[in-house]
Copies of this chain bind each other. A is one copy, B any other.
Amino acid sequence: MKNTKIRAVRITPIAFRDGPLLNASGIHEPWALRSIVEVETSDGRTGISETYGDEPMVKVLQQAASLLEGLSPFELNVMEARVRATIRPGKAGDGSVQFELAPGSHTAKNADKVISAMEVAMLDLQGQMLGLPICDLLGGAVRSEVPYSAYLFYKYAEHADKPYPPDAWGEAVTPAQVVQQARTMVEQYGFRSIKLKGGVFPPEQEIAAMKALRAAFPDLPLRLDPNANWSLATSIAAAKELDDLLEYYEDPTPGQDGMAELAKHCRMPLATNMVVTTMEEFRRNASTHAVKILLSDHHYWGGLRATAALARMCSVFDMGMSMHSNSHLGISLMAMTHAAAAIPNLTYACDTHYPWQEEEVIRGGRIQFHGGSVKVPGEPGLGVQIDPVQLARLHQQYLDCGVRNRNDLAQMRKYDPGFAGVSPRY
């Protein structure tokens, strides 16, 4: 074991089908991008991870690949130091699209994002070498299954470009359609809490949807995420109607200052994956304590160990913890599940886009949910392996699809050429 060294790191960008899901910035493109990381050792093992696939990210991952060569899979701290010393934030004009609502697109987070991708693959190797699931390398599971929430989206029935047949979900614009989407998702996955991605339609329409969800699911916790697309005044006005409806109020309005002011006007706790996405922002929020629930995401917080440390910080600063997601496949879902299993104070059901994906890159196809939860795997490492045929196919889709950076705004203008994309819109 002492002599096992990393001999190569392979980065493979992939693209998979993604539905016409609406959000504050616009609409999802037909293809979502991810990178698949494979870390190979001298004794023939391969550790894997999944992360962002936009072009600037692929570039820094490739730049970091050689930094791991010769390291033991146990040298996580050395890997982290090397990446921090080498991988720099992106620069203006480097082609990156810095997405306000998707912190994973921020190139200022390049080092943390790369560290996370490499760490997960190295932990997968450790687990394989030791015969232990990753959660055992994080202090052991405190729960045998990890609950996820039903992540509802406003959506159109079909992509403007019609690159492939429409999905089975259909249109969801009205409150009744949102409730129908929730019913389908809860039936298929067993979810026990519900989140709606808002910031799309006028607040009255979204509040009506939340009320319809409450009527249809009287016992399930509800969350609404307008993605900072509501002004402070709108957010305060809406709070009066949402205070008794929501488990938490996620990023209705932009900025820590706005959230801090809003906090004075509502009883429900505020949650975020937009105004606390770095340690500096954590530090600032610690002094105002405006946001009470942090949506963690190991992909940009520096990995699974850093997320566990972040959880301890949340505990110190009296913050609750939930988990954020972007469009992802099963490798990320497994990493999220191991992290959540080993974090005692991650007590809210985690977000996941997983039901919106139909394709998979792992062997054995899509991961099963039971009662809204994913069972914590007991197999060594992550507990999932790459299906090389699917990886090749999804990489070919990447090569063919032409998308290189997520751009929900440009995509939205295909439906509505006058779409301004100014935020906050309401």
Contacts and interface: CB of A to CB of B under 8 A. Distances in A.
Contacts of A378: 2
A309 interface: yes
Contact of A76 (B1, B140, B315): B140
Interface stretch (A131-139, A215-223, A258-266): A131-139
A368 interface: no
Contacts of A142: 77-78, 81
Nearest to A287: B287
A287 B289 CA distance: 12
Contacts of A75: 139-140
By secondary structure, the A interface counts as helix
A131 B74 CA distance: 12
A322 interface: no
Given A132-B1, A139-B305, A309-B309, A282 B316 contact: yes
A420 interface: no
Nearest to A137: B137
A80 interface: yes
A183 interface: no
A288 to B, nearest CB: 11
A344 B313 contact: no
Contacts of A59: none
A403 to B, nearest CB: 35
Nearest to A73: B140
Contacts of A280: 316
A393 interface: no
A141 B81 CA distance: 11
A83 interface: no
Nearest to A77: B139
16 contacts: A1-B132, A2-B378, A72-B140, A74-B140, A75-B140, A76-B139, A77-B141, A130-B130, A130-B132, A137-B137, A139-B305, A279-B315, A283-B317, A287-B287, A306-B312, A309-B312
Interface of A: 1-2, 72, 74-78, 80-81, 130-132, 136-142, 279-280, 282-283, 286-287, 305-306, 308-309, 312-313, 315-317, 342, 344, 378
